[in-house]
Amino acid sequence: MEHFLSKISRNLYVIPGGFFVTKLFRKFFDGSSQPENWRNFEFRGVSMKVDIAKQMGAAIYWRGAHDWAPIFVLEKFLNKGDTFIDVGANQGEYSLWAARKVGTQGKVVAFEPMQKLYDQLTENIRLNDAFHKTISPVKLGLSDKKGEVILYASEDSNEGTNTIYNTDKFSIEIGKIQLDTLDEQIKELSVSDVNFLKIDVEGAELQVLKGALNTIKTHRPILLLEINKDACIAGGYLPEHILELLKPFNYSFSKIGLRGSLSKVEDLPDFCNILATPQ
């Protein structure tokens, strides 16, 4: 019954308000009481293995995506043959959707520094034969310089919020990770073009962008940025500093709303996804 209902609920993404039906289904099959609870599924040509005991894994399993709004944006702005860079790839959700869109002539480079999530990323790539030549996973974090830092987690079940900043909430050490800059990695990996750059690194977005200025100047990619005010403050800056850094490159900024709708950025909320497009 769970398999049957999850298949129905994933397809409700096409219906405005389908989220509330999915939420009702999930109440009857709550897997969060177990330490691990793995499921494999296939949806819209993408296969994934997720842990429904975790917040993000459960959302992907029941909804098809943990947040559909950025996925709608990817599908609108990515084209066949594009190169997509995924910084903070996690278990590979965005990388898989991007690979589906860019096709065999395109390229996806997925950066994920945490060993456990990197293993899950590579497993999800393995499950998709058609994407093997398209997606290149890289076990590395990105910043504004090379180095090594400690990664921290919180006590909750959200596997998408690990951070390099030690705070009252994020205080559980989960190991050291290696860092490099995107500019150096673009050269090292011989990436000839960058069309779309997604960054979701829990407060280190500004540092990643500072290490990617040559890439931004040279390739003028579209940028998808998750901005969390609390995470930015933990990183020692304000969300507005991200926009200020990019303004000299002549980008325009839109907030991503329901179902991928775009609205002009006037005031940044405490949490939002931003689409930056070169003019």
Looking at this protein, which amino acid is placed at residue 110?
Answer: A
pLDDT given for residue 156 in this prediction = 80
pLDDT of amino acid 29: 75
Q: What is the pLDDT of residue 244?
A: 96
User: CB-hemisphere CA count at 13 Å for 195?
Assistant: 15
Q: Looking at residue 32, what is its pLDDT?
A: 64
Identify the pLDDT of residue 13. Answer: 87
Query: Residue 157: what pLDDT?
Result: 64
Longest Cα separation, the chain: 54
pLDDT of residue 158: 75
The whole-number pLDDT of residue 18 equals 78
Q: Strand, coil or helix: what is 253? A: strand
Compute the distance between CA of residue 183 and CA of residue 11 in angstroms, rounded to an integer.
39
- Residue stretches of the chain with pLDDT short of 50: none
